[in-house]
Chain A
Amino acid sequence: MKIVTPNESEARDWTAPGENQSLLRNPQSAIRNWLRGRGALLTGAGLVMFFCLIAVFADLLAPYDYSSLSRREPLAPPTTIRFRDAQGRWHARPFVYARQLLDPATQRYEEITDRAYPLELFACGYSYEFLWLFPTDLHLFGTRAETGVEAPRVYLLGADKFGRDRLSRLLMATRYSLFIGPLGALLASALGILIGAVAGYVGGWTDAVLMRAADVIKALPTLVLILAVRATFPPGLPPADAIKLLLILFLMLGWADMARLARGLIMELRQREYVMAAVSLGCSPARVIVRHILPGAAMSLAAQTLILLPDFLLAETALSFLGAGLQDPEASWGKLLTDVDSKLFKRGHVLAEFSPALAIMLFVLGARLLGDGLGNEGREREKFQWSEGIEETKEGRKKEAG
């Protein structure tokens, strides 16, 4: 048997010519080439993916029910995970000590070192439906419950003033916030694309009226309006209705930016030869827009949706914070931030208490990086198509001349 050395394999040309060639021949450098200049895009994609995974697996990751109270532990600081016990012995398995509230006024806690409670992976906890399909009660980590002894709760980020686990609340809030913000952005963008497409394609009076409306909506103080409309509904709206109301408001007030962009893109793409060809073949306007124009604009539109996403997320955060979102046991990033007050630094668990804000920042940063990266990618593609087009016409002209 002959062993093929890398050099020989490179020398043999057994791939079909095309752009896959370099990838098969020298995958490392091909991947490296592809990665060059895409660091921001990948960081953004990674961050967004990370939060999406958290949102999907929030139940599994959360050790406790986000609404279950523990009256004995209000404002408990984060639990220390220990490997070394009070007697100075080291343990392979991490464990925690139970804690006792010494002084309710200053929230001072003391560890009871008589008994260690080992942590375990995939501990049993409250029941939920994994991926909304399989009923289960497994959670990523927890303390082992033994007969007769109630194991203490582990608070990786501490507990809020009702003794609810901050980590569990943060995880479930991620699920809610990542549902409503992106959904709002998606719906509003879809409406914006529709309106922009009509305005850009039909032109004339329709265009003028629609774009005037878009200007007016862009100029309105959105948050004030949403607050005003929200106030006309009863304060104790059930979560499902509150979400619906918020989405409708986002839809009504959020389409303007997207409509402007989509209109510009469509007016530009309308001039392309393939679109004119489709029109001259007798395609209906709807078919021309959906089948011929939108695919060309898809990348830029997706990028713009991502760039707009933070606005919706931040609006939702602000509304929840101001009390116009969900009602109490439910959690969203903005709702969690209502627990942060002026004594943040005095209590000394800044990171734990400020974790919702950090989550918002990281997610928004990720969405912006991803949106900018995708936008660049779309422009590159556009450039590529253009240069090809120009070459073709040049060749065509040469042929005509010859």
Chain B
Amino acid sequence: MLKLILFRLLQGVMVLLIISFLIFSLLTRAGGDAVTMLENTRSSNETIESLRRIHGLDRPLKERYLNWLAEAARGNLGHSLVLQAPVLSLIRLPLLRTGMLATVALLIAWSVSLMLGIAAARRPGSLVDRVCSVVILLASSTPGLALALLALALIYSTPLMSVVGPATNADAGVWSFRVIPPAIILSVPLLAVFLAQTRVAIREALDEEFVLVARARGAPEWMILLRHALRPAAGPLITIFGISLGAIMSGSVVVETVMGWPGLGQLTVSAVETRDIPLLLGVTLVAAAAVMTGNLVADILQRLNNPRLRNG
């Protein structure tokens, strides 16, 4: 277990290094930095040059990258040129909010897919089973963007607006009822994947001999489902959770931007619009780190759930 964690940490650091270097080197290749935007304004050339010097934009790429790296290693991801604040302080709250959004979305997707999946797996070919097939197909082919736009328009045309309408940076803490609509929309594509997986996994588990033994022993149905079928079925579910974390992060960019939840996704889009590279770099790295941490957690959970993997 310790080996796994150490290995993953090492791997994570390497990935972050590669990503940061990639974005850094693209910057100079494409030309243009946060100060370039000023060139068409009234600022004089001297001002622009001195700004470049203050922020160290006039030095060669290698030196800038190593400087940035040394600072980043000390937990300082730099200074946002547009919002005039340390990057880390700008990222903290949005990261927590996106975490909240993802958690609520995952809870929704899990609970719905467990309920529907168990009901469908118990009677293959029944009405519930066929409804599940349709739900999977529709949920997997509905673009989150379209759903988010539709949901936003719906919210605006109902009096619910004041309770669950879009949140702004000022009025949303980490928890607010306004997280619910974006979370529902974010959970739809997840639901398709989870439901398909739950249905198959539970159906396979119910066919196992230990379920037959439990039935013969006279164990109640709820016990068979929750204790005997769910445990082996949880394996693929945890795997799929780990895999879908990246998709959740990508999906949250769209959902947060459309439905107004000031999380990491919204911050990314605004950083892209203002070409605030230090902030963008910070957001990307933090998002990648968050996803990789989630993956590690999924792997650890997997090992806790399945003793056969522990020594692997």
Contacts and interface: CB of A to CB of B under 8 A. Distances in A.
Instruction: Judge: A and B partners, yes or no.
Output: yes
B153 A224 contact: no
B284 A223 contact: no
A343 B156 contact: yes
A345 B143 contact: no
Given A342-B156, A360-B143, A365-B137, A221 B246 contact: yes
A227 interface: yes
B153 A232 contact: no
A361 B154 contact: no
B277 A337 contact: no
Given A220-B246, A224-B253, A231-B280, A344 B153 contact: yes
Interface string B17-59: 0010011001101111000000000000000000000000000
Contact of B272 (A219, A230, A234, A344): A230
Interface stretch (A52-60, A274-282, A315-323): A315-323
Interface stretch (B64-72, B81-89, B212-220, B285-293): B285-293
B225 to A, nearest CB: 28
B273 A323 contact: yes
Given A221-B288, A228-B272, A322 B257 contact: yes
Contact of A216 (B15, B138, B153): B15
Nearest to A356: B146
Contacts of A228: 23, 268, 272, 280-281, 283-284
A336 to B, nearest CB: 11
A81 interface: no
Nearest to B243: A218
A281 to B, nearest CB: 38
A231 B264 CA distance: 16
Nearest to B292: A219
Contact of B250 (A216, A222, A334): A222
Interface in B100-154: 137-138, 140-146, 149-150, 152-154
Interface in A199-248: 212, 216, 218-225, 227-235
A354 B150 contact: yes
A229 B142 contact: no
Contact of A321 (B26, B145, B250): B145
B11 interface: yes
A340 B149 contact: yes
B31 to A, nearest CB: 8
A221 B11 contact: no
B11 A227 contact: no
A181 to B, nearest CB: 12
B295 interface: yes
A376 to B, nearest CB: 14
Nearest to A324: B272
A69 interface: no
B249 interface: yes
A360 B147 CA distance: 12
Nearest to B157: A345
Nearest to B136: A368
A30 interface: no
B284 A361 contact: no
A254 interface: no
A289 to B, nearest CB: 27
B253 A223 contact: yes
Contacts of A212: 11
B245 interface: yes
A360 B149 CA distance: 14
A310 interface: yes
A354 B150 CA distance: 9
Of A221, A228, A322, the most chain B CB neighbours within 10 A belong to: A221
Given A220-B288, A317-B143, A357 B30 contact: no
> How big is chain B's contact interface, by range?
35 or more
B250 A346 contact: no
Interface string A365-378: 10011000000000
Contact of A218 (B156, B246, B283): B246
B254 interface: yes
A342 B140 contact: no
Interface in B227-282: 242-243, 245-246, 249-251, 253-254, 257, 264-265, 268-269, 271-273, 275, 277, 280-281
A216 B277 contact: no
A318 B253 contact: yes
Contact of A322 (B138, B242, B254, B284): B254
A68 to B, nearest CB: 26
A360 B280 CA distance: 29
Contacts of B143: 314, 317-318, 357, 360-361, 364
Contacts of A342: 152-153, 155-156
A368 B287 CA distance: 29
Contacts of B251: 223
B26 A232 contact: yes
Interface string A55-83: 00000000000000000000000000000
Nearest to A213: B15
A361 B149 contact: no
Contacts of A315: 250
Contact of A219 (B264, B269, B291): B291
A225 B29 CA distance: 17
A225 B19 contact: yes
B250 A223 contact: yes
Contacts of B152: 342
Nearest to B19: A225
A310 B144 CA distance: 12
Nearest to A310: B141
B146 A322 contact: no
A324 B272 CA distance: 9
Contacts of B283: 224, 228
Contacts of A230: 272
15 contacts: A220-B288, A221-B288, A223-B254, A224-B249, A230-B272, A232-B26, A233-B26, A314-B143, A318-B253, A322-B257, A340-B149, A343-B156, A344-B150, A365-B137, A365-B141
Given A318-B250, A337-B146, 10 more contacts: A219-B242, A227-B268, A232-B30, A314-B143, A315-B250, A323-B272, A324-B272, A334-B145, A344-B150, A354-B149
List 5 tightest A-B contacts by C-beta distance, closest first.
A357-B146, A223-B250, A221-B249, A344-B153, A342-B156
